[in-house]
Amino acid sequence: MKTPEISNIIAAILVLTAVIGFSSALSGNWPAVGIALVFSIIIIGVNITAKKLMAYSLDSNVEHRVWSFQRYGFKPHWKLKKPVPGGIIFPLFLSLITLGTFKFMSILSYETKALKRRAAKRFGTYSFTEMTEWHNALIGASGAVALLLLSLIIYFIPASGLEQLSKFAAYYVFFNMLPLWDFDGTQIYFGSRILYSILATITIIFTAVSLAII
């Protein structure tokens, strides 16, 4: 991974820690904040690793960054001078105004690029280097599926505290599946609406179960 991607991932882990552990920090429960940090590392680590592995299998590379927005209207010229890091501002702001009750967990976005060996292996040297939207959707979906599997497996492990990790993993997928800006859900949706519909339905079920039971 390149330095900018590493910096964005570290920022995402810290923001997710703040979102998960905001209520605990307000009450001075610092051990719980430490647990929130561990949970954040696991959730983001699993999500990114799954995408990296899927990208590798498709002879491509995926890079992660904090999602941002620049346009504020429908017309092309309705935009800010510089991109705003929404993946940092929105989660922290919503945690602040709700005192940690609302945990908005969409922080990272991703971008895929085909490797040179992809062109050579599939279409002759340098004749085709672009990723299809379908393959891009598969990469995004792999991160969501990995976290849903993690949520399911951990839920059935009889260990104290891990049920919270199961819940937060499902939450993370839910918010990232929203078809907004350049969230994972947006990229999956434009790659395959069928894949998005199936994955979104499963995610909603997981999230509902987490809210009702855990």
Least confident of 66-80, 105-119, 181-195: 66-80
Secondary structure letter of residue 126 according to DSSP? T
Using DSSP's 3-state secondary structure scheme, residue 9 falls into helix
For residue 214, pLDDT beyond 80:
no
% the chain with pLDDT above 90: 71
Look at residue 115 and give its three-state secondary structure. coil
Query: What average pLDDT does the segment 67-73 reach?
Result: 72
pLDDT at 28 over 80: yes
CA dist., res. 208 & res. 201, Å (int): 11
pLDDT tens digit string along 45-58?
999 999 999 999 99
pLDDT above 80 for 16: yes
CB 170 within 8 A of CB 181: no
Tens digit of each residue's pLDDT (9 = 90 or more) over 150-171? 999 988 886 656 889 999 999 9
The per-residue pLDDT for 123 is 53
Return mean pLDDT, the chain.
88
Query: According to the model, what pLDDT value does residue 133 have?
Result: 92
Does residue 18 carry a pLDDT above 70? Answer: yes
Backbone angles phi, psi at 109, to 5 degrees: -125, 175
Q: Give the mean model confidence (pLDDT) for residues 188-211.
A: 94
Q: What does the pLDDT read at residue 63?
A: 95
Please give the model's pTM, rounded to 2 decimal places.
0.89
Across the range 172-196, mean pLDDT stands at 95
Tell me the C-alpha distance between 214 and 210, whole Å. 5
Residue 103 structure tokens: 């945990």
Token couple for 89: 């501002």
Looking at residue 213, its pLDDT comes to 65
pLDDT at 102: 94
pLDDT, tens digit, 9 for 90 and up, residues 84-133: 899 999 999 999 999 999 999 999 999 998 876 555 555 554 445 567 89
